[in-house]
Chain A
Amino acid sequence: MKDRNHLFDVGISHTVNIIDKGTVDIPMLQILQPDGSAHSDAQMPDMSQETAHKIFQTMHYIRVLDERMVGAQRQGRISFYLACSGEEASTVGSAAALSEHDMIMSQYREQGALAYRGYRTEQFMNQMFSNKLDPNKGRQMPIHYGDKALNFMTISSPLATQIPQAAGYAYGQKMAGNQAITICYFGEGAASEGDFHAGLNMAAVLSCPVIFFCRNNGYAISTPSSEQFCGDGIAARGLGYGIKTIRVDGNDVLAVYLATQKAREIALTENCPVLIEAMTYRLAAHSTSDDPTGYRSKEEEQKWREKDPVQRFENWMKSKGWINEEQHKQFIEQTRQEVLAAMKKAEQVDICEIDDLVNDVYDMPPWHLQEQLSQLKKHIRLYPDAYPKTAGRIRHD
């Protein structure tokens, strides 16, 4: 496509030729049917039993974590949570197809990808309880994870800002000869932001090895995708940018895995972006601050429950004889205990010291921040009861 000069090498038509959204039909890759049986003619991914097992466990792990943390928010133990039920295949399946050296830039509903990379329960908890063991030093709301060691970029709340950033990160990887790519997750709602356009266009023009992974889960908080865009989903836009594009069943973990593997190979060997649109459904509420009964029906949710990605994969795993029921039950029970224990532990840990309020704004706190900190400490000493979390721990300097 890039080789064609659109100014000179343009086909001529002698009648009005209208190109409409139906002109190009973008099919959806599906390997597993909703009941978990494979289509007889489907191209099967080369997935080892070990990988399948890790994917399976991670999907279940995340379901337990989500269920427990939504509960913890209801109990008032954390301020906020954001579940990913229904989208586990999209995030876990895609993360499984990557190398651990690939950078993950997520939106905020990709805890599945992070867990697959090896983020531990206590790490999830320390972040959510904003304690001093949180690598973000208690500065961000719950679920804004990040881990440099796992190549998982720290999440920020503004939507779609990570999209042009992923193009830049991938360009840097290419220039450094890292043999690694970047994957960038976002929702179909975020794709309406200007940063989506900017990021995809730049990645295409500057030949960046990046996978743009859209979780088209039907809703941006309460707004259905029918009120978000008119075209043929997000995939159709890829063609406009000259980006190779795959549409995949986001509730079919085998299809997501295969699509991402292929996309990674293309991005790395051809130094170019690839767009994946995963068709899925946010079974969960947007966040704990949201109530979906106000904007969608139980019947609609039920239809999607029947396509549940975890059950679908479980059925396939069973058909392969790869699940030991007893061990699986034990794993679920252990995970529940582990989450509860880690939560109890994390909520006991202090918040960071007051100095961390001004650290990391710059590499070193400049004079005005030092001045403001020292005035603040004086003030806290005057009214220690008003600032109980820090008052007792201020060092006299």
Chain B
Amino acid sequence: MIKMNMLQAINDALVTAMNDDEKVMVFGEDVGHFGGVFRATSNLQQKFGKGRCFNTPLTEQGIIGFANGLASQGSVPVAEIQFGDYIFPAFDQIINETAKFRYRSGGQFTCGTLTIRTPYGGGIAGGLYHSQSPEAFFAHIPGMKVVIPRNPYQAKGLLLASIRDDNPVLFMEPKRLYRASVGEVPEEDYELPLGKADVVKEGEHITLLAWGAQVDVIEKAAEMAEKDGISCEIIDLRSILPWDAHTVSESVKKTGRLIINHEAPQTGGFASEISATVQERCFLYLESPITRVCGLDTPYPLAHEKEYMPDHLKTYEAIKRCVNY
């Protein structure tokens, strides 16, 4: 085990994947010699050559279109979209092409080897266009997998699993943890399961569910609640699509209460989907309404970032409301 931050863990996963399979190719804007604007692809071009790690022109639809073709040919592309906020020019390629390639051809052709990496989320004073959390858009696309790690250990294991999974994966990296999150990461090759939530801490009275950087936030809120004698179960969803309804429902059957926390705006956010499913499965077990602590239904702000964010204090208040319902 070595201490790494999340960027180092991602870089380590990419090195591992590229060493393991010469068909793995990494590309995107500035990812070549420069190593990416966050340095996630540092030294890959130096190690593996310009053929396997390269800059592309500044065109997100082009990057994903190119990646789709490369995947359908049998290569293993890992395409980077520099910010999740800029993925939308590629929306058509992802929705109509990446996700439907296998289905529409009856399995003759697929983009299953494709992984799209993109940093997302706020907390870095990025304003409207360097802060968004667009996971819910992609949760609405049959054929895609959507995966989000919460720390360096998770990042390496989930990214390796995503690259090797035989389905296209959107791998969303919580960028405010890139350097802030540091932890022990095994040097060897390992994978963590996709589609499986992780119970971070067991508890009795309420289930708190989040993903990415918000897992830290609900942990902090849980610590506050513990002092009031409220025992919280903490779950990191890890995969947004397909998501682990079983683990979440089993937890809610035990605790009778659920709070879902995400940075994205509340309306139409992924918490809505979870909430609907859990009430169908756990209706008679619920002690209080399923509660969402989310971003506001505004564009992501700059000066009011702190106020916008579904932080530990908002979560703590929600915990008390649920328990005292």
Contacts and interface: CB of A to CB of B under 8 A. Distances in A.
* A and B interact: yes
Interface of A: 103, 105, 134-137, 139-140, 144, 146-148, 153-154, 156, 158, 161, 163-173, 175-176, 182, 194-195, 197-199, 201-202, 205-206, 359-363, 366-368
Given A164-B93, A175-B25, 17 more contacts: A146-B108, A148-B109, A153-B72, A154-B109, A161-B93, A161-B96, A167-B62, A169-B69, A171-B75, A172-B75, A194-B89, A195-B93, A198-B62, A202-B57, A363-B102, A363-B166, A366-B195
Interface centre among A175, A182, A360 (most CB of B within 10 A): A360
Interface string B232-254: 00000000001001100000000
Given A158-B97, A361-B142, A173 B102 contact: no
Contacts of A205: 56-57
Nearest to A357: B103
Given A198-B62, A360-B103, A366 B57 contact: no
B5 interface: no
Contacts of B148: none
Interface of B: 25, 51-52, 54, 56-57, 59, 61-75, 77, 89, 92-93, 96-97, 100-110, 112, 142-143, 145, 166-167, 195, 242, 245-246
Contacts of A199: 62, 65-66
Nearest to A182: B69
Interface centre among A136, A172, A363 (most CB of B within 10 A): A172
A362 to B, nearest CB: 5
29 contacts: A135-B105, A140-B104, A154-B101, A154-B109, A156-B100, A161-B65, A163-B65, A164-B68, A168-B65, A168-B68, A168-B70, A168-B72, A168-B77, A170-B69, A176-B73, A176-B75, A194-B89, A195-B92, A198-B59, A199-B66, A361-B102, A361-B142, A362-B145, A362-B242, A363-B112, A363-B166, A366-B195, A366-B242, A368-B242
Contacts of B107: 359-360
B106 A136 contact: yes
A158 B109 contact: no
Given A172-B69, A367-B246, A135 B108 contact: yes
A202 B143 contact: no
B106 A137 contact: yes
A199 B69 CA distance: 11
A167 B104 contact: no
